[in-house]
Amino acid sequence: MFKRLCVIGVGFMGGSFALAFRESFPNCEILGIDINPYAIDKAIQLGVIDKGSVQMNNLLLFKPDLIMLATPVGTFESIAKELSSLDLKDSLITDLGSVKGRLVYMLEEYLGENFVGGHPIAGTEKSGVENSNKDLFKGKRCILTPTQRTSPKALEKIKNMWVSLGALVEEMDPFLHDYVFGAVSHLPHAVAFALIDAIKNLSKDSVDLFKYPGGGFKDFTRIAGSDPIMWRDIFLENRENVLKAIEAFEMSLKNLKELIKSGNLQELTDYLLSAKNCREKIN
């Protein structure tokens, strides 16, 4: 049973994790660490964390049995470096990052066998601790990415912890994870951001296209409201897969464009019907 949780990064994801964790482990004490003192104050006021600090080395006194990394993935290396300089051999360490792959091996270099990579497939376009949601992970998949080096005991504990929070745990190779989510999550986000950029460019002096958000546009671009720093880091950390996925998408769109241009009724129908049938597999 966990007694002391430290959440590094007190935003929407870290805050939601703290709330969910407290519900499953009501007697635990929660320390929040963030570079932003206002986020800490807000999180304490909202009862998301019990106490907070802007200093990483306050961890030492707190002696957490679990440390959750909940910052944008671009900060992981410097945080891991800092953590590795502290004596934390009794702490399990895991994360909520949307990129795994080489990041997992890098974190292991610094943090050793007690680190277990994790990625709950949950989130919204919201950001900020004030939007935290204790039910965020319930019924959602959580991908864990153990390696040969991961302590089986640590993996077991992290797995059980997520199960307690109501998540459906699945294990995956860290690099396969990045290929899969580069396609099904990072690509759609890139596309949504680019779609908004295009609508902005297509808005003329005489017409503000953002005044006409019907026809699927609103739902479709909801995810473009996501945190820019978090997504900048995801795109860069998973650059290779994201670029490959964007290129595959560019080819698909080019094919569709050519079918529209040529007006080939049968091939255009087949293209759209095939997409519809694939989409229906995931309903």
Near a second copy in 218-247, by CB under 8 A: 218-229, 231-232, 235-236, 239, 242-247
Query: Quick one: angle between helices 228-237 and 187-202, nearest 10?
Result: 120
In the complex, minimum distance from the CB of residue 71 to a second copy, in angstroms, rounded to a whole number: 16
Nearer Cβ to a second copy (54/194): 194
* Interactions with a second copy, residue window 78-137 (CB under 8 A): 98, 121-123
CA distance 143 to 161: 13
Nearest to 32 by CA among 19, 16, 18: 18
* 216 near a second copy, rule: CB under 8 A: yes
Name which of 54 and 273 has its Cβ closer to a second copy.
273
Backbone angles phi, psi at 54, to 5 degrees: -95, 0
Q: Which of 175, 176, 188, 200 is nearest to 231 (CA)?
A: 188
Return the number of the residue (44 or 209) whose C-beta is nearest a second copy. 209
State the angle between helix axes of 12-24 and 152-164 in degrees (0 to 180), rounded to the nearest 10: 90
| Rounded least distance, CB 231 to a second copy, Å | 6
Residue with the two structure tokens 């797995």: 159
> What is the C-alpha to C-alpha distance for residues 174 and 101, in angstroms, rounded to an integer?
4
Nearer to a second copy, 1 or 198 (CB): 198
Compare residues 68 and 224 and give the one whose CB is closer to a second copy.
224
Greatest pairwise CA separation for the chain in angstroms: 70
Positions 153 through 212 that interact with a second copy (CB under 8 A): 176, 179-181, 183-202, 207, 209-210, 212
Residue of 82, 83, 118 whose CA lies nearest to 100: 118
Which residues 132-151 are close enough to bind a second copy by CB under 8 A? 140-141
- Report how many residues bind a second copy under the rule CB under 8 A: 90
Considering the complex, state which of residue 1 and residue 176 has its C-beta at the smaller distance from a second copy.
176
Stretch that binds a second copy, among 40-48, 105-113, 151-159, 270-278 (CB under 8 A): 270-278
Q: Minimum distance from CB of 76 to a second copy (Å)?
A: 16
Instruction: Please tell me whether residue 253 binds a second copy under the rule CB under 8 A.
Output: yes
Contact between 93 and 70 (Cβ < 8 Å)? no
Cα–Cα distance, 51 to 5 (Å, whole number): 11
For residue 1 the two structure tokens come to 């049973």
Nearer to a second copy, 46 or 209 (CB): 209
Is residue 282 a contact residue for a second copy (CB under 8 A)?
A: yes
For residue 279, the minimal CB distance to a second copy (Å) is: 4
Distance CA 262, CA 259 (A): 5
Q: Is 30 in the site for a second copy (CB under 8 A)?
A: no
